[in-house]
Copies of this chain bind each other. A is one copy, B any other.
Amino acid sequence: MLSTRWALETFIGRLAALSPLTPDDVEALSALTIEPVRLRGNFDIITPGQEFHDACLIVSGLVARFIQLRDGRRQFTAFHMPGDLADIHRVATPLAGSSLQTLCTTTIVRVPATQLKAVALASPTITHAFFAYAAVDAAVLAQWAVNAGRRDAQSRMAHFLCEVAIRSEQSGQGSREEFILEASQGQIGDALGLTSVHVNRTLKALRQSNAISIDGRIIRILNWPLLAAHGDFDEGYLQLLEQARAA
């Protein structure tokens, strides 16, 4: 199930949803895979300032992009789930402004940036798809900024859970009603700009309103309309480009 091939096909499928790929495109992209690497949790894939010449395709597990402050506190700026390509910008530069770390035991495939770039430039439809993929990344990041800047803790959490739910569903890792989130409450706090203590209280409140239930790392959304309303969540931004293609 969670094989290297599965991850690559999921990624290609997502690209295909963004830009109609030709059979040649799919073939070129399918040739990308190199050896998978298994990493423990809390492993630093990239540290800032350092040059890094590979992109990361996530096969299983969970990877977070983050920026760290001098005092050690940090803010996650993205979660990357199985089937995601974590470093699409590596096409443009080997320098990273942010760090990448596994949140749990994770399998990734390192795709050399040179290969990625060659594939991108070889086909206009792939170029287009890569742009669109980066645009979705940016749309998600914008929502995280809105979360941190303008929503209170419960709305943030609700919006965040809705996003993870949809993305889990999109990558075939679960449904929007039930999925696995391999992150501790402290790590969720780093994504939302909250402390682990307040994440705990916020989750408790959402549980008590019967919007969600939690069993270990399994999240169940019991009342989707309630949660979506609470988080002011509109899934459009996650499907923006699929819609564009349909039009």
Contact = CB atoms under 8 A, between A and B. Distances in A.
Interface string A188-230: 0000110000000000000000000000000000000000000
Interface in A42-101: 49, 51, 65, 67, 69-70, 73-75, 77, 89, 91-95, 97-98
Nearest to A51: B247
B146 A75 contact: yes
Contacts of A141: 138, 141-142, 145
Contacts of A69: 146, 150-151, 232
Contacts of A237: 97
Number of copies: 2
A192 B149 contact: yes
Contact of A93 (B89, B98, B135): B135
A7 B34 CA distance: 44
Interface in A96-129: 97-98, 117, 120-121, 124, 127-128
A240 B67 CA distance: 15
Contact of A95 (B124, B138, B193, B240): B240
A31 to B, nearest CB: 20
A241 interface: yes
B92 A146 contact: no
B150 A193 contact: yes
A43 B98 CA distance: 34
19 contacts: A69-B146, A70-B232, A75-B149, A77-B145, A77-B146, A92-B128, A93-B240, A95-B240, A95-B244, A97-B139, A97-B142, A97-B240, A98-B139, A120-B127, A134-B138, A137-B138, A141-B145, A148-B148, A148-B193
